[in-house]
Chain A
Amino acid sequence: MAFFTLNGKEHHEQPKAGQCLRTFLRQLGCYGVKKGCDSGDCGACTVLLNGEPIHSCITPAVRAHGKNVISIEGLTDGDELHPMQQQFLEARGFQCGFCTPGMILTACALSEDQKGDLNHAMKGNLCRCTGYRAIRDAIEGRAELSVESQPGECIGRDVLPPTAHSVVTGQEDFTMDAAMDGMLHLKVVRSEHAHARICAINTQAALAVPGVVTVLTWEDAPTRRFTSAIHDSHLVDPDDTLVLDQVARFVGQRLVAVVAETVAAAEKGCQVIEIDYELLPMVLEPEEAMAEGAPPLHRDQPDSFIINPGRNILVDIDLAGGDIAAIRQQADVLIERTYSTHRQQAMHLETLGSIGWIDEKGCLNIRTSSQSPFIAKQKLEFIFNLNPCNVRVFCKRIGGGFGAKQEVLTEDLVALACLKTGRPVSWEFTRQENFIGASVRHPATIKVRLGAQKDGTLLLIEVDSTLNTGAYGNHGGEALYAGSVALGHYRAPVKHFSGRSVYTNTIPSGALRGYGLPQTLFAVESCMDELALELGVKPNALRRQNMVGANDRIVTISDEPSDVVMGSYGLDQCLDFVEAALARKADQQGPSGQEWAVGEGLAIGYHDTVPPTEHRSTATVLLHDDGTYCLFTGTAEFGEGTSTVHLQFAAEALATTPDRIKLRQSDTKICGWDTGAFASTGIVVACQATMHAAKALRERILIHAAQHLGVEVEECTLDSGGVSSSCGGKLSLIQLAELARHKGIKLAEKRKGYGSPVSVAFNAHGFRVAVNRITGEIIILQSVHAADAGRVINPAQFRGQIEGAVAQAIGYAMTEDLMIDRAGKVRNPDVRNYRIPSFADCPETEVFFADTVDSVGPYGAKGGGESPFNPVAPALANAVQNATGVRFRHLPLTPPRIYEALVSTFAR
């Protein structure tokens, strides 16, 4: 008798006793059943069990016995989309698409009643990318964005992502959606101590577990230190990390890898590994870590990059422009305030993971969830001393990244296991591992000093920032420098930025949307409001008076020669939009009751369109024999939407439609160099390369056609069918390709994109909030965002990026906090207790685009998937201050904190 029916087909396989339905369905090939948490919290694994939606990760597989299961693969029988899938397509109800199958299946099962309260009905489905508005529109069938494109009319249109169909049908291939013959599974034992030296590891019992193939410890690992951080230049981070180390520097550091035939055997092996530790003194906070006598984390093998290993200081900077002492004298008002921020986890819905194998030619292949396969490849070559020809790294679709995949955290260990065993090896992080063993946003303590004249003229901006880089220095330097950008959008004769990045025995900090800027911008933009209060002027008036204008240069510290230019200016428009929107709803009331206080606030900021480190990309475009094009780019797609823009740029230049262009991407074997999809460079660097390559190919085709038609190039035009001359001659693309073949030439072009000069993008965010002075609850009544990203290439996608960034920033400002206890252990390493915003926590944000065209960016665009994040937290703190009269200088603004500060001000 069949065990159960899956998507209309009977299956005879039996699940294992303790298996959950999720992995059983994936084992049967239904890779559309995703894992976001594996604990019932995110809904990515939703399937229908006898018609009822359930979370398959917490459903015992044995319970499916005799039942009927429908997964996303079986929602419709043929190529026709289910109406809900069509609605998700039309509303662009997805970005990375990892949550999408679960969203669609849940939405399909909602009653009309439930649809009336999506906040409630959808609370078991989390999305980290969209901020939910587009998903809400999809479920309610509210959006009808076009799914068709016209030839050569692609810029500024809501072109559908090329993978849209496969995302909504669950067919899109994500990193871990693969199994190989003979594939082994890797699991690690992580440190239980914040600082310890390993005296001995007993692997006997683990090796005796049936199915365990090998156990890897520091003694098996290469001795080359590297940095897990991904940057174009490896010299901007310290080489302080080993694949496996003899010293544990944080709770959660991987120490031993067990490689086995099954996940179960690897897990069992891990359980019986015995580690003999010598405990070392530990430090959790930068202040203690810099104190005399504090235990140094990296003294034994200092990279000269580490400025003061004895005091745990990774980098230390002090940059001043102008005479600070003199200007302090001149200031009528001088205020100094200290702010602090906490740890945020990216919580991309797809956890980290990679699969590696050595092919028949001896080449190491790694399929990974990375924002930069090219640099991951370079690191593997370096660590293992491999010839570049013998390493390939590639990405399939990635389920969200947000900067946290700008890090090599799985590839190295998988590579080691492959080299050791010669077999394919898979390692997928559990959600818990992703909380304790990946990276977080740098916690920071920031001192701001602002000096001004009575009339409001800003004289001095001083920011001193202390970042906790955690146990390793990945991104510790660059994130610190990035913080200086918060000084750039105001004019002041004297600016001073100092700071340090400090090692502690805590989870390493790393890259995350905004990259070091959200922390300092929170401080500076909060402090501007504080200064306004001190001066007795309106905060926004003070901003207008001092913010950079269209004809100013952006000076973050001093006016050094720089490649940052004001390619376009839209800060004034952003501020206008937000102010006007807030004014329109100025009489909006909060809930009734005296305890509710209502107020509004905003914040502004800017962002360089390219990071100061090098950023490069290569694109190749070619014409196939069948008259279609193929575009190769190194950039990975994780929901940021650059794939669509690549096609838009290429289609625009080639006067065709995106569906005539096949995109091949993120594979070091077939694509040219790409630094990576991070620092918001997708459009300005990678798509720039595509624009150049496509334009060059058009020229090439026109010249080629002109020769055959016997006319001048100027007389020829290219359209989606081929080339026609003004004299009447015509050659189709197929004919052109054939002629080229006969001639032995290739109609293909390759171009590079560079990240210099750099332009600037502006943002403003405003909130109206109601604050409950008894409970400490904040209700967001209005949320407004304005972005100046130059020409908006794909409005629907860009709006989605903004909404997603705002939602993630609301989480940062209000609900998310990765807490660490006194032993250095993460207190809430699970989705249930690390609260990312759900449907109900995300207000709808009104989004405005400034009307600018950039002179630097391709097709006038500036990009900006990150910058909308930055002004959100200070805007919230400013609004709460405006409502309650109390300034909150420490993030996040949780009810217990707010209550604590307000309880004395409000007697009931």
Chain B
Amino acid sequence: MDLHGIEQVLPANLLDRNLSSWRAGDAWLGGGTWLFSTEQPALRRLHDLMAIPIGSPIAEEDSGLTIRSTCTIAELQQHTIAHNDWRAASLIGKCCDSFLAGFKIWNAATVGGNICMSLPAGPMIALCVALDGTYTLRSCGGEVRKVAALDFTIGDHDSILAPGELLQIIELPAAGLRRRVTMRRFSLVKDGRSSVLVIGSHDTDTGAFALTVTAATSRPVQLHFDKLPEKQQLRYSLASKIDPRLWFDDPNGTPDHRRHLTTFFAEDVIKVLS
């Protein structure tokens, strides 16, 4: 929709060192698929991250996958992974497919935009958390920090980003990509917005297992186990380690149903990975 409050759209370079001109009422413009989908009365200027082309959005090295935050969902989905021992790479396509949004929006929406939106049902968040990703953030003063994907999103529509801070780069380490993974998702309508998205990842070298829960909770939750847990242990962990207030309540699901499905899917995931 028209954002009548916007007075200026400024080109911005994702890889620039600093951006001192940042001020209140400014926002980064990724694909714009969320920004333009709702009224933004507080915004006055957009810094367009897509205005300046900066080369390939994805780099694949032996150490892992490096994704620029401006990489579109379509680009990520179309990238063919060369490392055939990266078993978890199958998650990439599945997570891209876990939007309510359809393919036309994938052409515009960015991975970084999805992460920074910090919606519980953000499938790029699920992907990055499940694969132990890290984010490179750069403040408008130029300071750079790296954070774990798990720590970035702190609530519904809430992240640790400071005003003007930019998500530049997403790194998915090879160790994460080599794990065996399984994903389960539920939405109240077919192919709709996730009500629950659960990913299990199993490190076959160490035996460690991690369960990543998103969409069902207002922020991502990860449970770690030394080995694939028994049903009882799993249930106990889910009940004791997830703060009951985290089960998300919105029109796309109820807390109770989400908690129930999370348990059910988690058990299923373990069965598949066993």
Contacts and interface: CB of A to CB of B under 8 A. Distances in A.
A288 B261 CA distance: 35
Contacts of B256: 896, 900
Contacts of A908: 264
B100 interface: yes
Contact of B4 (A58, A268, A815, A827): A268
A815 B261 contact: no
B191 A840 contact: yes
A838 B108 contact: no
B96 to A, nearest CB: 12
Contacts of B50: 63
A283 B34 CA distance: 35
A121 B4 contact: no
A124 B191 CA distance: 11
A119 interface: yes
Contacts of A834: 251
B100 A840 contact: no
Contacts of B264: 774-775, 908
A693 B3 CA distance: 52
B209 interface: no
A129 B192 CA distance: 20
A107 B158 CA distance: 37
B191 A119 contact: yes
A775 B185 CA distance: 11
B48 A267 contact: no
B1 to A, nearest CB: 4
B32 A59 contact: yes
Contacts of A119: 190-191
Interface string B223-264: 000000000000000000000000000111110110011001
Interface centre among A18, A267, A271, A896 (most CB of B within 10 A): A18
B108 A54 contact: yes
A645 to B, nearest CB: 34
Given A17-B7, A43-B104, A46-B104, A828 B251 contact: yes
Interface centre among A40, A119, A125, A774 (most CB of B within 10 A): A40
B1 A62 contact: no
A815 B188 contact: yes
Contacts of A58: 1, 32-33, 36-37, 105, 108
Interface string B137-166: 000000000000000000000000000000
Nearest to B11: A62
B2 A815 contact: no
B189 A841 contact: yes
Interface in B26-61: 29, 32-33, 36-38, 41, 43, 46, 48, 50
B167 to A, nearest CB: 19
A835 B188 contact: yes
A830 B101 CA distance: 14
Contacts of A271: 41
Given A40-B105, A124-B105, A271-B41, A832 B100 contact: yes
Nearest to A828: B251
Contacts of B46: 17-18, 60
B104 A60 contact: no
B180 interface: no
The contact size tier of chain B is 35 or more
B107 interface: yes
Contact of A38 (B1, B8, B33, B101): B1
A20 to B, nearest CB: 5
The contact size tier of chain A is 35 or more
B5 interface: yes
Given A54-B107, A833-B252, A896-B256, A775 B8 contact: no
Nearest to A265: B4
B193 interface: yes
A899 B188 CA distance: 12
B6 A40 contact: no
B135 interface: no
B107 A775 contact: no
B257 A900 contact: yes
A837 interface: yes
Contact of B188 (A18, A22, A894): A894
A18 B2 contact: yes
A819 interface: yes
Contacts of A268: 4-5
A833 B189 contact: no
Interface string B178-200: 00000000101111110100000
B30 to A, nearest CB: 11
A889 B188 CA distance: 19
Given A40-B33, A271-B41, A838 B4 contact: no
A146 interface: no
A121 to B, nearest CB: 6
B9 interface: yes
B102 interface: yes
A264 B41 CA distance: 11
Nearest to A895: B188
A838 B190 contact: yes
Contacts of B8: 17
A23 interface: yes
Nearest to A62: B9
B102 A775 contact: no
List 9 A-B pairs, minimum CB-CB distance, nearest first.
Answer: A18-B6, A124-B102, A18-B3, A840-B190, A896-B257, A264-B4, A39-B37, A38-B1, A828-B251
27 contacts: A16-B6, A18-B5, A19-B3, A39-B38, A40-B101, A54-B104, A54-B108, A55-B33, A60-B32, A62-B9, A122-B102, A123-B100, A124-B102, A124-B105, A125-B102, A263-B2, A268-B4, A774-B264, A777-B186, A828-B251, A835-B192, A837-B189, A840-B190, A841-B190, A895-B188, A895-B195, A895-B257
Given A16-B6, A18-B2, A19-B3, 4 more contacts: A39-B38, A54-B108, A55-B105, A896-B256
Interface of B: 1-9, 29, 32-33, 36-38, 41, 43, 46, 48, 50, 100-105, 107-108, 186, 188-193, 195, 250-254, 256-257, 260-261, 264
